[in-house]
Amino acid sequence: MRYEAPETIDAAVTLLAGEKGVARVLAGGTDLIIQMSGDMIEPDLIVDIKRIPLLKQISEEDGGFRIGAAVSGAELGEHAGVCALWPGVVEGVELIGSTQVQGRATLVGNLCNASPAADSVPALVAANAVARVIGPKASRDVPVSEIATGPGKTSLAAGEFVESVFLPARPDRSSDAYLRFIPRTEMDIAVVGAGVSLTLDENDVCTDARVSLGAVAARVLLVEEAAKALIGNKIDDKTLDNLAAAASAAATPINDKRGTVEFRTKVSGVLAKRAATIAADRAKGKK
Amino acid sequence: MNYQSEVSPDARKFKSIGTRPLRPDGLDKVTGKARFGADVSAPGMLHGVILRSPHAHALIKSIDTSKAEAAEGVHAVVTRADFGSDFDNPDVMDNVMAGKKALYDGHTVAAIAASSEAAARKALKLIKVEYEVLKGVTDVDAALAPDAPILHEDMVPDGVDPAPTKPTNIAHRHEFGHGDVDKGFKEADIIIERSFKTEAAHQGYIEPHACLATLGSDGRGELWCCTQGHYYVRELCADLLKIEESQLRVTASEIGGGFGGKTTVFIEPVALALSKKSNRPVKIVMSRNEVFRASGPTASSSVDVKIGVKKDGRITAGFANLRYQGGAYPGSPVEFGAMSAFACYDLENVKTVGYDIVTNRPKQVAYRAPGAPMAAFAIESVVDELAKKVGMDPIEFRLKNASSAGSKSSYGPTFSDIGLALTLETAKNHPHYSAPLGPNQGRGVACGFWFNFGGQTSVSLAVNADGTVGLSVGTPDIGGSRASLSLMVAEEMGVEYEKVRAIIADTASLGYNDVTDGSRVTFASGIAAIEASRNACKVMCARAAKTWGIPEDAVVWEDGHAKPAGSNAGDFKPMSLVEIAANASSTGGPIAGHHEINADGAGVSFSTHLADVEVDPETGRAEVVRYTVFQDAGKAIHPSYVEGQFQGGAVQGIGWALNEEYIYDNEGRLQNPGFLDYRIPVASDLPMIDAVILEVPNPGHPYGVRGVGETSIVPPLATVANALAAAAGIRMTDIPMSPPKVLKAIDEAK
Amino acid sequence: MSQIHVSTTVNGDAVEFLCEPDETLLTVLRDRLGLTGSKEGCGSGDCGACSITIDGRLVCSCLALGAEAQGCEIATIEGMAEGENLHPLQSKFLEHAALQCGICTPGFLVAAKALLEKNPDPSETEIRYWLAGNLCRCTGYDKIIRAVMDTAEEMKAAKS
């Protein structure tokens, strides 16, 4: 195995495109190194992208934020701008692993690891975030919901990697929230995750919403029926019950060591409801 | 020994005992200097790695190691063929290295020593094992089914009537009790019968097993390892490697947790065999995956309980049928479960039957009060229900039936002074018991019992020329025993605690010492340390007598000084330990004391736990929001470490109650061999754990010590279950009470 | 595989080492540099016993490669005391009996130090969540949390 730490994006692209064997991008490494030591993968090349300055940056762009692929969870959580605009995305990222893992793990890595239970992805999908994919050909912008195609599988072609994720600007009285269910208070993989992003008008009626669920299907789900339950309504008990029913109906989970079909289906609704309540409270707090 | 006269109230005022000095090994442990199992290396050292069975149950048809032996960096490969036959401990041998069959996922099949761990791991893939996969069984009840796969074709249980004619998965049957339970149930106004299950939990010590071994062709060797009992390691390794005990010197490293799990051998004999074959030192360190798959978690259990009461709350009869699977070989702790199940209650009619069952899981090893928590979960859950049925406060109900001095225990002996009622009464009067509860919260109470053990112990101490004391003990210090033993020596000899330096001596230095288990160290090594101190003091008295020219029996030891026994003895200025030590060379040479015992009289221990649990009714998630432990310590030598035992045991019990479990798939492969999905409690899961130390002195120890290490894990399963019952109106009978199960129960109760 | 040459700083000392490209920083620290104070409890970032800081950021050294240390400032438990003087956290851990077996202690100390540097006045809940990635199986956490709370108090008092 070779380890390379290029200092430019071009150099990284050249290295990855030139590798005939298995190549992997290393940013935080909190998934990659476990997979290597667990003999799940044996890469021939590892490209450490943390020495590429652009990828370590969070930059303002069109009223939104572009988050580089090598920005750690801890760095993201310290960025006041992103925390104010997309608190749900930040809380999703901050739920990944421990404080120690936060020191390394990245939002882009969490996205590209393509776990259906990834904590940052439901909030990203709800946020309609866009990933910038770079590779030997031209770079392309892809909705984050199209990066993962199944557990551990992505739509990235050989030699491609995600350079950054863009979180767009949003109207006033908008906010988001992410909640997950785990048996402990920390250190677990989500049994169910729910992200809600919404906008309210002056009368607290929801005018726009996106609802997503994690860990209840082979990939993170965008649940349009659940969003419909919110749009055009005040976030009251009846609306929330409709939202919960729509979320539970959309879940197609499996039984595994972390939860049962029955449990995940029910809790999908519970979490969607609670996340919507938090998102709405946050939106109202933004005058 | 009986120390009744010494432990009676006001028998003595302690100077050192009961204080909280810093531990002698503390500085090394906060600076990273302490050397644990994996922290040493040796010149020319090789790295050993182990090939493990991926199958739960399989015949090993053949093993071809030729390619691995030829691989780069490989110095030795061992399989069962490299070990002899006719062992005193055949099951230990077979567990350490599989023979004809692999009996569980993770069972050792072969091992390699190579110049680097990477080279060894690479070579591991070159070993070809031909398996014939057999049907396996991991559930304790399924193992009893008529068509269950049989692990051992020669296993016919003892104690079963009529004796089975075919092999079964039952290794032993045990029965305890007295009176006539049928008669007792006839007298009852209310009878509750319930069945309970608990999943296997792992001790979860943070330090994986690790060792460094050398063994030469001359049969001489050294072994460094993290163990709770290096003398027992020596005994087992000598048996498995066919070497003489005197030729194997075992040194116990600092130990990163054990809780019973480091009381046998796994990798140590393998490392010795690899070392012998390669003529090089070999280090083996288990990965966390290996620890979960192939060390010794506790048993899983299935228990049926039947208890009858009169309307006034008096229990008329108690019966329990306990079935514990102990993994692939006999030895589940069901006997302790059956003995301890009803120990908290003074019963006229009581009977317990226990079955020791084998399954395709790793052989269980002791886990803190082995066997007792599962039994207590079942009994204390039913007791809670009965209290409610008869309309009594759960503590009052327990007090009405509680064992006390003179009660004939359910397992035979009659109790002397015990602290159960004191723990219950203290709990009842504690602010926790009457504190208001929030929404979705409930309060639970449960009691627990543990026997405590004594055992073989050998201690030596030396009085140095500068007046300090060196104390050598042979029981590895797993939670602060060097501090507690030093305190006892300081108390006895009248020196400052800081003047005593305790070490864990290697197997060449002392007589045999049983394992650090059974909450025995502060008790048994404590007695030995006190008696060794008294011996040394006697020597010092003799030296003073010699100096003064008076008879030895005319000198007594008091407050760190030799003094004339009375005015008749003569008028001499008391001679301090420092003076006597300084003059030792001219009064007869070195001054030392030693003591060897097989200690009994350990003194049983009881505790009562209180928990407030909050349940999320929409997700089934339970959170412990307040917890208090009340336990009889006999006498707390170093109260901080007594509290630590109470707190640590309670939290292990909380973890077991709520989320910890072994999860096997249909093929018998462990699904959660890591800390990610084997969910031990993290700091944010818990409140502070209040520890209330009570002291009913044990006459078996000069200061009244009772073991404190284990009882604290006995009540939490039921305490949490009873709190959950109060919070959500559900009776959970299946451990762990994980959210999917709790949510299901809540929804079904609606 | 050819080894990689790495120049880095560990506890203020300039250090050079060779390592395999897939070797973790924890293995480098323990087996190549003799710094065995960082422990391997799981190898998967779930126990925190290998906690160190890289350029001031708290991480698990089992989840970093040795090669990544090039040009970084690494701090381990071995560098926590200043000469004979223990860090206040080390003293408080001893005073509060916040360790039983001691295997998790280096990781807890390194993590707690990083917390107090970032947040000198943490609540009990903040401490518990910050340290949730450090497993302790002996103490039930009670005395550890108290030791950290007490240290924070004392360090605040010393400053004012």
Q: Which pLDDT belongs to residue A201?
A: 97
Q: Each residue of B552-603: pLDDT tens digit?
A: 999 999 999 999 998 788 899 999 999 999 999 999 999 999 999 999 999 9
| Alpha carbons B683 and B690: distance in angstroms, whole number | 15
| Alpha carbons A144 and B69: distance in angstroms, whole number | 49
What the block records as the tokens of A158 is 């050989």
What the block records as the tokens of C136 is 């302790």
- Count the alpha carbons within 13 Å of A79 in the hemisphere toward its beta carbon: 26
DSSP state of A273: H
State yes or no: pLDDT of C1 exceeds 70.
no
> Does C43 contact chain A (CB < 8 Å)?
yes
B10 confidence band (pLDDT: 50, 70, 90) = low
Q: Which pLDDT belongs to residue B163?
A: 79
Q: Is B147 exposed, middle or buried (0-12, 13-18, 19+ CB in 10 A)?
A: exposed
Touching partners of B (3+ C-beta pairs < 8 Å): A, C
B677 confidence band (pLDDT: 50, 70, 90) = very high
Q: What is the mean pLDDT of residues C74-93?
A: 98
Please name the amino acid found at residue A14.
T
- Measured between CB atoms, which of B658, B685, B744 is closest to A262? B744
Q: Each residue of A91-134: pLDDT tens digit?
A: 999 999 999 999 999 999 999 999 999 999 999 999 999 999 99
- Measured between CB atoms, which of B36, B287, B689 is closest to C142? B689
Model-level pTM? Answer: 0.98
Q: Computed from CA positions of residues B73, B79, B85, B91, in that sequence, does the dihedral angle turn out positive or negative?
A: positive
Whether the CB-CB separation of A73 and A94 falls below 8 Å is answered with yes
Q: How many residues does chain B have?
A: 750
Q: Each residue of B200-241: pLDDT tens digit?
A: 999 999 999 999 999 999 999 999 999 999 999 999 999 999
| Alpha carbons B527 and B522: distance in angstroms, whole number | 8
Instruction: Give the CA radius of gyration of chain C.
Output: 16
Residues 6+ apart with CB under 8 A from B289: A38, B673, B674
State yes or no: pLDDT of B175 exceeds 80.
yes
| CATH class of the domain defined by B417-448+603-750 | alpha beta
Q: Per DSSP, which regions of B506-621 are E strands?
A: 555-558, 561-564, 575-576, 591-599, 605-615
Q: Each residue of C123-140: pLDDT tens digit?
A: 999 999 999 999 999 999
Whether the CB-CB separation of C50 and C66 falls below 8 Å is answered with no
The residue of chain C with its CA nearest to that of B688 is C142
Instruction: Provide the Cα torsion B630, B632, B636, B640; round to 10°.
Output: -20
Which of A263, A265, A271 to mutate to probe the B interface, most B CBs <10 Å? A263
Q: Is B558 exposed, middle or buried (0-12, 13-18, 19+ CB in 10 A)?
A: exposed
Bridge partners (DSSP) listed for residue B318 = B307, B350
Which of C103, C108, C130 to mutate to probe the B interface, most B CBs <10 Å? C103
Q: Give the percent of chain C with pLDDT over 70.
A: 99
**Which CATH fold topology does B4-34+454-599 show?**
Aldehyde Oxidoreductase; domain 4 (3.30.365)
Whether the CB-CB separation of B628 and B692 falls below 8 Å is answered with yes
DSSP conformation letters of B701-739: STT-----SSGGGSSHHHHHHHHHHHHHS----EES--H
The residue of chain C with its CA nearest to that of B288 is C42
Q: Which residues of B430-449 are buried (b: 16+ CB within 10 A; e: fewer)?
A: bebeeeebeeebbbbbbbbb
| Alpha carbons B337 and B298: distance in angstroms, whole number | 12
Q: Each residue of B446-467: pLDDT tens digit?
A: 999 999 999 999 999 999 999 9
Which of B49, B51, B675, B738 to mutate to probe the A interface, most A CBs <10 Å? B738
Q: Each residue of B239-251: pLDDT tens digit?
A: 999 999 999 999 9
Q: Which pLDDT belongs to residue B7?
A: 81
The residue of chain C with its CA nearest to that of B650 is C140
- Count the alpha carbons within 13 Å of A35 in the hemisphere toward its beta carbon: 15
Pairing of strands A23-26, A2-4: unpaired
Bridge partners (DSSP) listed for residue B330 = none
Q: Per DSSP, which regions of A169-234 are E strands?
A: 174-181, 192-200, 206-214, 221-222
Q: Do C131 and A46 touch (CB under 8 A)?
A: no
Question: How many H-runs (helices) and E-runs (strands) does chain A carry?
Answer: 11, 14
| Alpha carbons B715 and B446: distance in angstroms, whole number | 5
State yes or no: pLDDT of C23 exceeds 80.
yes
CATH 3.10.20.30 fits C4-79, yes or no: yes
- For residue B389, give the H/E element and its range: helix B372-389
Sheet holding B190-198, edge to edge: B170-178, B350-357, B315-325, B300-309, B190-198, B734-735
Please name the amino acid found at residue A196.
V
CATH 1.10.150.120 fits C88-159, yes or no: yes
Q: Each residue of B315-364: pLDDT tens digit?
A: 999 999 999 999 999 999 999 999 999 999 999 999 999 999 999 999 99
| Alpha carbons B325 and B744: distance in angstroms, whole number | 27
Touching partners of C (3+ C-beta pairs < 8 Å): A, B
- Do B4-34+454-599 and B37-415 agree at the fold level? yes
> Does C144 contact chain B (CB < 8 Å)?
yes
Q: Computed from CA positions of residues B155, B358, B366, B102, in that sequence, does the dihedral angle turn out positive or negative?
A: positive
- Per CATH, the number for B37-415 is 3.30.365.10
- Nearest alpha carbon to residue A34 among A97, A127, A119, A122: A97
- Nearest alpha carbon to residue B603 among B525, B700, B501: B700
Between the two ends of chain A, the Cα-to-Cα distance in Å is 54
Q: Give the percent of chain B with pLDDT over 90.
A: 95
Q: Which pLDDT belongs to residue C122?
A: 98
B123 confidence band (pLDDT: 50, 70, 90) = very high
Tell me how many residue pairs between chain A and chain C have CB atoms under 8 A apart.
92
pLDDT, averaged across chain B? 97
Which of C6, C39, C53, C68 to mutate to probe the A interface, most A CBs <10 Å? C68
Q: Computed from CA positions of residues A153, A159, A165, A166, in that sequence, does the dihedral angle turn out positive or negative?
A: negative
State yes or no: pLDDT of A287 exceeds 70.
no
What the block records as the tokens of B555 is 């000198």
Tell me how many degrees the CA angle C23-C29-C30 measures, rounded to the nearest 5: 95
Q: Which pLDDT belongs to residue C110?
A: 98
| Alpha carbons A248 and A195: distance in angstroms, whole number | 14
Q: What is the mean pLDDT of residues A163-174?
A: 97
pLDDT, averaged across chain A? 97
Per domain, the residue ranges of chain C are: 4-79, 88-159
Q: Each residue of B130-154: pLDDT tens digit?
A: 999 999 999 999 999 999 999 999 9
Tell me how many degrees the CA angle B209-B212-B213 measures, rounded to the nearest 5: 120
Q: Which pLDDT belongs to residue A286?
A: 55
State yes or no: pLDDT of C73 exceeds 80.
yes
Contacts of C135 in chain B (CB under 8 A): 204, 206, 675, 680, 682
Where do the domains of chain A lie, and which CATH numbers do they carry? 2-47+54-167 (3.30.465.10), 174-285 (3.30.390.50)
Q: Which pLDDT belongs to residue B9?
A: 64
> Does A237 contact chain B (CB < 8 Å)?
no
Whether the CB-CB separation of B331 and B222 falls below 8 Å is answered with no
Please name the amino acid found at residue B265.
V
Helix (H, G, I), strand (E, B) or coil at C25: helix
- Omega before B564 within 30 of 0, i.e. cis: no
Tell me how many residue pairs between chain B and chain C have CB atoms under 8 A apart.
181
Q: Each residue of A221-275: pLDDT tens digit?
A: 999 999 999 999 999 999 999 999 999 999 999 999 999 999 999 999 999 999 9
Contacts of C111 in chain A (CB under 8 A): 99-100
State yes or no: pLDDT of B159 exceeds 80.
no
State yes or no: pLDDT of B157 exceeds 90.
no
B160 confidence band (pLDDT: 50, 70, 90) = confident
